[in-house]
Amino acid sequence: MAHLEQAESHLAEIELLSSMYPDEDELVITDQLAVAELREYVEGATDTYPLSRPHILIKQKMDTDTVKGVNVTISCTYSSDYPNVLPEIAVRCPDLSRSQQAQLHSDMNTYLSENCHGDVCVLSAVEWIKDNVHLYLTDKSTSSTAAPGKKASRSTSSSPQPKEQFSRLWIYSHHIYNKRKRKNILEWSKELCLSGFCMPGKPGIICVEGPQSACEDFWARVKVLTWKKIIIRHREDVAVDSPSAEASMVDNMDSLRRFTGFEEAMFDPHGNRGNHMNLGQLYQYLNERGCGDVFQLYFGIEGR
């Protein structure tokens, strides 16, 4: 069963990459036979766990604050034990010196080891590279800088915080299966007057929005439950205008909400255990609510 779950996660990631990068100039699967063997095993056509090592290339043009159209090629060779073992990921960029490239690889692997152990990570690697490649293009002494990937919250500031804040937390969990946890999430969001949604399965996603104090209360309750992995992947904090004669503070808060109420959202569950969701439908769901950009923050790729 462990091998089957590994293979399902492995294949799901390759298929997601293929759907998001349909152009051969963006994604190249150099060993189609290895992918075919993986699919046969997942679909039950063979009982033999494939030992082949699929290899892919992701080619991107990335813009930084100082350089436009930086050509980056991400080479990924999967191991047969992926995702329990990190794949071999190499980044090639003609704008980077050999020492800069070596430092980038070292920092990226450290980030993946700390944040993606036991989970699919190629999308996280792409996201990390997009977020951090500019550091290596502009600073030749990257080894003396703070480790990339440990980004400060957008809401952090040395100035005093406004008295009233609206927050939206985007929470990522390795998986959400447990019925009691799912019930708690629904009950706590209702109790705290938070809107948003919870997508159970693997991975699990929770979005809550509302008064900052209520969001922090929700997070304090959720994070102490037993999880394999749960983090706030992204957060948005907005100062709320003082109420006018025509509007109350509640009205001002509600005007910032992207969701009506809180729901458990399912997107065409599939897989042997019905625990994988259709990420294309998730992207459409987010996009309809003006949150399509957060898909890339979760999965490291732009939805289409």
Does residue 187 share a domain with residue 112? no
Say if 145 falls within a structural domain: no
Name the residue range of residue 64's domain. Answer: 3-137
Say if 142 falls within a structural domain: no
Say if 191 falls within a structural domain: yes
pTM: 0.48
Beta strands in the chain (DSSP E): 27-29, 55-62, 70-77, 88-92, 165-173, 195-199, 204-211, 230-239, 262-264
Given a cut of 50, the residues of the chain with pLDDT beneath it are 139-147, 149-162, 245, 301, 303-304
- pLDDT at position 242 is 66
286: its two tokens: 């987010």
Say if 77 falls within a structural domain: yes
- The domain that holds 122 is classified in CATH as 3.10.110.10
Q: Are strands 70-77 and 165-173 parallel, antiparallel or unpaired?
A: unpaired
Q: How many domains does the chain have?
A: 2
- pLDDT at position 161 is 40
3-state secondary structure at position 183: helix
Say if 17 falls within a structural domain: yes
Does residue 182 share a domain with residue 108? no
Does residue 189 share a domain with residue 85? no
Residue 268: closest CA among 201, 172, 214, 221: 201
60: its two tokens: 């991107």
For 204, list phi and psi in degrees, rounded to 5.
-105, 140
- The domain that holds 183 is classified in CATH as 3.30.70.100
Does residue 287 share a domain with residue 213? yes
What number of other Cβ atoms are within 10 A of residue 79's Cβ?
15
Does residue 54 share a domain with residue 120? yes
Say if 90 falls within a structural domain: yes
4: its two tokens: 């089957």
The amino acid at residue 67 is V
Measured CA to CA, the distance from residue 276 to residue 273 in angstroms comes to: 8
Measured at the CA of 167, the angle between CA 304 and CA 132, to 5 degrees, comes to 55
Does residue 97 share a domain with residue 170? no
- pLDDT at position 162 is 41
